[in-house]
Structure 1
Amino acid sequence: MKHIRLLQLLVVACVFILTSCSDDDAAPPSKNYVLVHGAWQAPYVWNAVKANLEKQGQKVTVIELPGHGNDQTAPDEITLDRYKEKVIEALSTIDGKVILVGHSLGGMIISSVAEAVPEKTEKLVYVAAYLPATGQTLNELAHTDPDSQLGGDGILIFNNDGVTVDVKQDQIVNLFIQDGTSEVQDLVLKNYRSEPLIPFINPVLLTAENFGSVEKVFIKTLKDHVVSPSLQDRMITSGGVKSIYKINTGHSPFLSQPDSLTALLIKISHN
């Protein structure tokens, strides 16, 4: 009888240990990530990060902004509001809140989205992104950044159509992906398109009640040639950012270090 009792106790103990381990090791609930690319880029830049997140059980939606990628919306019809509406449309198809991630220009967009639908936005994540104050335009913010190489003589080419702007061809790699492999650099060059200009001069109107109520996180890119680290610091200070992370990359960490960026996005979802 003693042996039977001991065996019963061992079984109970094993069940308790297995249950405890199962609880501790259980994967956290999946999150909804919505990824917004920046200027002169397109959804392809998020491919590796999207795949990494999905391998870890996360749900990912990548936005294709009007006038980018395969979208053929006429540039003179594209405004910051059109970008905002495209993201809100995607959010309307997702159950629950989202972690809204914006890169560069995408920071202007996710800010305006959070102002419109704060109830759908769990966190705003700015990846080397413009974080505006109310009433600011991207153009105004960029002009406060003397350390940016994007503003050098002749680098920006304003086209005769009046509604698009280009980057000097021999500066594209240096600006956007100087720290990437040759294959990734070629990918950026292959997918390059002229950028709609009007959204650069559209202001973002933000309130403390809506935009101000959403938690903000900034991923600072330490080798950035487009949005300088000094401007990133100033936006972090003025923008009500709760958490700051750093990644030792240029302007496009999703291309040069997608695994590291993915790890940060997962960490952000837990904090």
Structure 2
Amino acid sequence: MKKLRVIQLLVLVAMFILSSCSSDDVQPANPKNYVLVHGAWQAPYAWQAVKANLEKQGNHVIVVELPGHGADQTPPTEITLDKYKEKVMNAISTVDGKVLLVGHSLGGMIISSVAESIPEKVETLIYVAAYLPVSGLTLDSLAHMDPDSHLGGKDVLIFHTDTYTVDVKQDQIVDLFIQDGTPEVQNLVLNNYRTEPLIPFINPVTLTGQNFGSVKKAYIKTLQDHVVSPYLQNKMISTGNVKSVLEINTGHSPFLSQPDNLSSLLTKIANN
């Protein structure tokens, strides 16, 4: 009888321990390495909620701060698309194994260039409302293929040829990047705004079928996007050899307006 009571007590303790563990504590059987690359006029702050979600699942996540963004003070005259590529490649070099390389907007140009240089390190390229080029194109040339983008509006962009930078007109920032966000999130974008280095917009990418073409690609379409319109997203997907296409009903910055939903989509791609 005494032995039976001991067994019953042990069972109760085990049940208590199991019930006290939330589902958030369960680690994935196969944790992934994510490298997240922000876009123009943004910085690592934009990815923080998604980063936290992915790390909670047990994944390893790196958010790259591009030169001339966030706290980085590299002069715009020294910033090129290759400089961006080098920064991302340096981040990837710290990771054992392959990475899920995620690029937003301008970040799509960068991750494409990275995959051309080190295809063996990239498990999947994930484009989030991102420019997906073919060889020889620049971001500027892709943007000019988008008749529905609000970037093409009158006086939306202000170019500073003396400093090699470009600004978005202040009263257009919310409409372009976060029209679907809460007032708090919109203020976050406004408060973190910085002028953008111009040279990378006109640097072409060189991509080959042997390298870039060998890497699996996924695209997350943003259905209310005012920067990279659904029209251009569909056009790039049709020429980009994209394996899987998912959708999220947001503007240009889903990591700010719907970070949980975006995190779920990234996880879905990682597990396919």
Using the size of structure 1 for normalisation, the TM-score is 0.90
Match in the other structure for 1:143: 144
Q: 1:150-188 deviations in whole A, cap 9, x for unaligned? A: 110100000142400000000000100000010000000
**What CA RMSD, in Å, does the superposition of the two structures yield over aligned residues?**
0.9
Structure 1 Cα separation of the partners of residues 27 and 102 of structure 2: 26
Match in the other structure for 1:248: 249
Match in the other structure for 1:204: 205
Matched, 1:263 2:264: yes
Q: Which amino acid aligns with 1:124?
A: L
1:129 Cα deviation (Å)?
A: 0.1
Q: Which amino acid aligns with 1:75?
A: P
Structure 1 Cα separation of the partners of residues 249 and 231 of structure 2: 15
1:27 Cα deviation (Å)?
A: 3.0
Using the size of structure 2 for normalisation, the TM-score is 0.90
Match in the other structure for 2:19: none
Structure 2 Cα separation of the partners of residues 158 and 270 of structure 1: 42
Matched, 1:31 2:32: yes
Structure 1 Cα separation of the partners of residues 254 and 93 of structure 2: 28
Structure 2 Cα separation of the partners of residues 121 and 27 of structure 1: 20
Write out aligned runs for 1:233-244 (5 A): 233-244=234-245
Q: Which amino acid aligns with 1:28?
A: A
Write out aligned runs for 1:175-194 (5 A): 175-194=176-195
Structure 1: gaps (5+ residues): 1-24
1:28 Cα deviation (Å)?
A: 2.5
1:214 Cα deviation (Å)?
A: 0.1
Structure 1 Cα separation of the partners of residues 233 and 249 of structure 2: 14
Q: Which amino acid aligns with 1:80?
A: L
Write out aligned runs for 1:84-233 (5 A): 84-233=85-234
Q: 1:127-162 deviations in whole A, cap 9, x for unaligned? A: 000000000000000000010001101000001424
The number of residues matched between the two structures is: 247
Write out aligned runs for 1:34-113 (5 A): 34-113=35-114
Structure 2: gaps (5+ residues): 1-25
1:56 Cα deviation (Å)?
A: 0.7
Identity of aligned residues (%): 73
Runs of 4+ in 1 over 4 A off after TM superposition: none
Q: How has the CA–CA distance of structure 1 residues 55 and 26 changed in structure 2, closer, same or farther, with 3 Å as cutoff?
A: closer
Q: Which amino acid aligns with 2:119?
A: P
Q: Which amino acid aligns with 2:244?
A: S
User: For 1:86, what is the secondary structure of its paired residue?
Assistant: helix
User: For 1:189, what is the secondary structure of its paired residue?
Assistant: helix
Q: Is contact 2:27-2:58 (8 Å) kept? A: no
Q: Is contact 2:27-2:57 (8 Å) kept? A: no
User: For 1:101, what is the secondary structure of its paired residue?
Assistant: strand
Structure 2 Cα separation of the partners of residues 194 and 71 of structure 1: 12
1:89 Cα deviation (Å)?
A: 0.5
